[in-house]
Amino acid sequence: MNTPSNEPDLAFDIDALFNHLVEELEVDLSVPMDWTFTLRGVEMGQLKSIAETLDDYQCELEESVEEIDEKGRLSLGRPMLSVVKTGALMPSEVKKIADQMSQIAERTGIEYEGVEVFDAIDDDELFDWLSLDEAVWRLRHFSDSGLNPGEELPWVFLLMGDSLEQMQKLAEALVTGGFENSQSDEDPDEEGRYGVFVFQEGSNDEERLVAAHRQIVKIAKDHEATFEGIQFLSEEDFVDVTLDLDV
């Protein structure tokens, strides 16, 4: 990370990082977050062997990561190992892990690229319906976690209405409007309302997601239906977790 000489490098200056989180971002440090420590090497096998020794962490391996240099040129970087510790950590705890990563780097000849911190997403939140703003932030979290811009990512939109006939007509209108995989649900929710699910082969693209949301909401309003939320699940995965969703 390139930083001006008079500014601390937050990837390595843990005290400055915590000060930035509290003073600039007003982060509540009592809330668990994902502390991500990055190691880079030449060989994927070497990083995999290191990951196998880190039982106390969640390890994510990527064979290559797209990088953009100062002139805007795109290239594929070296293999990367992200070592994630989720928790409400204190500076001393983060420093201890950073020291551990530095020692691993020195011992193995790979490079330690510092620490970053992200909002943690727990398993329950993964299956909650998201507002458009929450969905956009979820995309940014995916990007921060290594998902490349524009990479394929399934979307599903949920729309709700008062009657089955109403929602069946909405599903037909959505198909006509270009959303071919739109399905009405014949079973009402606990409040007696009916849903339509719109499945799309989406991508990690905020503008495209916002545009799709705008089109879908417009069609829904024409049928007096309301937008309930967005999730990032394929139709197959959605079926597997439907019982866990609050619909």
Beta carbons within 8 Å of 12's beta carbon, 6+ residues apart: 98, 114, 115
pLDDT digits (tens, 9 = 90+) for 74-118: 566 788 999 999 899 999 999 999 999 999 999 999 999 999 998
- Structural domains of the chain, with CATH: 14-120 (3.30.70.970), 132-137+145-244 (3.30.70.970)
Cα dihedral sign, 21-23-27-28? positive
CA–centroid distance for 191 within its chain: 31
Give the chain's largest Cα–Cα span.
Answer: 67
CB 184 within 8 Å of CB 168: yes
Neighbours of 145 (CB within 10 A): 16
CA–centroid distance for 5 within its chain: 32
Amino acid 153: pLDDT: 92
pLDDT digits (tens, 9 = 90+) for 51-85: 999 999 999 888 766 555 555 555 667 889 999 99
pLDDT values of the chain reduced to their tens digit, one per residue, 247 residues: 445 557 889 999 999 999 999 998 888 888 888 999 999 998 999 999 999 999 999 998 887 665 555 555 556 678 899 999 989 999 999 999 999 999 999 999 999 999 999 876 554 455 578 899 989 888 887 776 667 888 999 999 999 999 999 999 999 999 999 999 999 999 898 899 999 999 999 999 999 999 999 999 999 999 999 999 999 888 887 775 554 434 4
**Whole-number Å distance between alpha carbons of 149 and 229:** 22
For the entire predicted model, the pTM comes to 0.53
**Whole-number Å distance between alpha carbons of 95 and 152:** 36
